[in-house]
């Protein structure tokens, strides 16, 4: 945990927003390196004064305070929101600063889907108190992909006030996770590492062969950093005024984290710019595989940092995935069926074993010095 330095004033939200004079450099870098994602960067005033951006910007700001303000990174870290409609985020290293770019499409697509899922009363009851929703084992009338598309179109209109309120908290957690993941790329030494000559990482890249293997290792590393950072964020947030109505205790916190991560991974997988079926070519593993790794990491590390045992944390992850899938089925008629879930679980074990086997070699090519200001990160593999 960080010690708050009372002599360090909390910076204003604007101080982390990419200054106007640097916006052209970032825009032209994206045009050059990822033309498909080119879009104007929004100015701070239009982001901060628009209710559409508000939950996301709160999540970004809290992640910047926790992980940049209280960390010690060699160059200033800025963020900005781009008008790109894609479900994407990226991080780049420039000569004198780092920049995290969040596409407004990322949360634009998450809002209706999260609102639709959280309209399912048993899912809300599960998140709040751990009571598992009933599974009637009916047969799906839509594919899982079509069910997500249905929620995307109708989820926001279906949502009542309770669902919308929880959805705002959820988007904060989800965006916190995304920003923590990008900071994980910075402090993990992934930008411009010798193993992968890149000063820019985008979350929606499609890669093949060795490049995909190399990127996957870094994505898993960034996910691990983000998982633990977000688990601690939810723990701290639970005692704060704003979230007190959610009555967050650590087990509630774990359910919220796992549920939020699963929704994020599913949306990124289904609404990214590439063909979701070409999973092998993706830098990120499939959602359930990412969940499996997140569950392993959070269960192992949070158990070291708290009095919770590994098994009970793992169970919260398994139940959260199940509860989201049941909500998807009951709200929109699609679900991941058991054989598919089992295939993912097997694949997750293979990817994890391979990651652990290759990681000691990969890590020698990375500058890990920036991670030393996060003592908790030392508990990660």
Q: How many angstroms separate the first and last alpha carbons of the chain?
A: 18
Taking the least distance from each CB to Zn ion, the nearer of 124 and 284 is 284
Tell me which stretch binds Zn ion (CB under 5 A): 107-115, 126-134, 218-226, 316-324.
218-226
Return the structure tokens found at 97.
């600063």
Q: Whole-number minimum distance, CB 269 to Zn ion, in Å?
A: 14
Q: Is 102 in the site for Zn ion (CB under 5 A)?
A: no
Cβ at position 283, least distance to Zn ion in Å: 7
Does 222 bind Zn ion (CB under 5 A)? Our answer is yes
Question: What element of type H or E holds 200?
Answer: strand 200-202
Query: Is residue 240 a contact partner of residue 311, using CB atoms and an 8 Å limit?
Result: no
Looking at the Cβ atoms of 104 and 203, the one nearer to Zn ion is: 203
Residue 147 vs 220, nearer CB to Zn ion: 220
Contact call for residue 187 and Zn ion (CB under 5 A)? no
In whole angstroms, the minimum distance from the beta carbon of 225 to Zn ion comes to: 10
- In the complex with Zn ion, which residue's Cβ is closer, 124 or 215? 215
**How far is it, in rounded angstroms, from Cα 58 to Cα 60?**
5
Is 163 a residue that touches Zn ion (CB under 5 A)?
Answer: no
37 binds Zn ion (CB under 5 A): no
Shortest gap between Cβ of 219 and Zn ion (angstroms)?
5
Q: Are 115 and 164 in contact (CB under 8 A)?
A: yes
Q: Is 293 in the site for Zn ion (CB under 5 A)?
A: no
Distances from the Cα of 328 to the Cα of 10, 73, 140, 144, 334, angstroms? 40, 40, 10, 8, 6
The Cα angle at residue 288 between residues 143 and 347, in degrees rounded to 5: 105
H or E stretch at 111: helix 104-118
Q: How many CA atoms lie within 13 A of 149 on its CB side?
A: 7
Positive or negative: CA dihedral 322, 343, 171, 242: positive
- Tell me the closest approach of the beta carbon of residue 185 to Zn ion, in angstroms: 6
**Which CB, 86 or 222, lies closer to Zn ion?**
222
CB of 198 to Zn ion, least distance (A): 11
In order, the DSSP letters of 246-274 are G---HHHHHHHHHHHHHHHHHHHHHHSSS
Binding flag, residue 183, Zn ion (CB under 5 A): no
Residue 226 sits in the site that holds Zn ion (CB under 5 A)? no
Sign of CA dihedral 239, 299, 281, 341: negative
Does residue 171 touch Zn ion according to CB under 5 A? no
Instruction: Give me the 192-211 binding string for Zn ion, x by CB under 5 A, dash otherwise.
Output: -----------x--------
- Residue 56 or 222 with smaller CB distance to Zn ion: 222
Q: Which residues bind Zn ion (CB under 5 A)?
A: 203, 219, 222
């Amino acid at each position: 945990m960080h010690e708050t330095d009372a002599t360090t004033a909390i910076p204003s939200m604007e101080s982390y927003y990419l200054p106007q004079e640097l916006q052209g450099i970032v825009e032209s870098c994206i045009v050059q390196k990822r033309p498909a994602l080119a879009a104007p960067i929004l100015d701070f005033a239009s982001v901060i004064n628009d209710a559409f951006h508000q939950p996301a910007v709160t999540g970004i700001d809290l992640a910047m305070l926790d992980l940049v303000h209280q960390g010690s990174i060699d160059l200033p870290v800025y963020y900005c929101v781009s008008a790109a409609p894609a479900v994407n985020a990226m991080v780049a290293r420039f000569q004198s600063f780092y920049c995290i770019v969040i596409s407004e499409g990322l949360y634009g697509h998450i809002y209706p889907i999260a609102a639709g899922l959280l309209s399912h009363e048993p899912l809300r009851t599960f998140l709040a108190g751990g009571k598992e929703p009933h599974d009637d084992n009916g047969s799906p009338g839509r594919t899982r992909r079509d069910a997500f598309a249905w929620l995307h179109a109708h989820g926001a209109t279906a949502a009542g006030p309770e669902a919308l309120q929880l959805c705002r908290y959820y988007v904060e957690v989800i965006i916190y996770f995304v920003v923590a993941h990008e900071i994980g790329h910075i402090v993990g030494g992934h930008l411009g590492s010798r193993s992968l000559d890149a000063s820019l990482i985008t979350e929606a890249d499609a890669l093949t062969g060795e490049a995909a293997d190399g990127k996957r290792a870094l994505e898993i590393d960034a996910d691990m950093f983000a998982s633990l950072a977000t688990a601690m964020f939810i723990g701290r947030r639970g005692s704060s005024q704003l979230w007190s109505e959610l009555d967050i205790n650590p087990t509630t916190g774990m359910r919220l984290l796992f549920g939020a991560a699963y929704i994020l991974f599913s949306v990124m997988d289904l609404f990214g710019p590439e063909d979701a079926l070409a999973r092998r070519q993706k830098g990120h593993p499939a959602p359930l595989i990412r969940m499996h790794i997140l569950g392993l990491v959070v269960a192992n590390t949070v158990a070291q940092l708290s009095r919770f045992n590994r098994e009970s944390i793992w169970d919260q992850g398994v139940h959260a995935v199940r509860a989201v899938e049941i909500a998807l089925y009951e709200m929109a008629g699609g679900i991941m069926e058991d054989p598919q879930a089992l295939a993912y679980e097997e694949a997750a074990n293979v990817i994890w074993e391979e990651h652990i086997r290759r990681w000691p070699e990969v890590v020698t090519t990375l500058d890990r010095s920036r991670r030393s200001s996060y003592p908790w990160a030392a508990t990660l593999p």
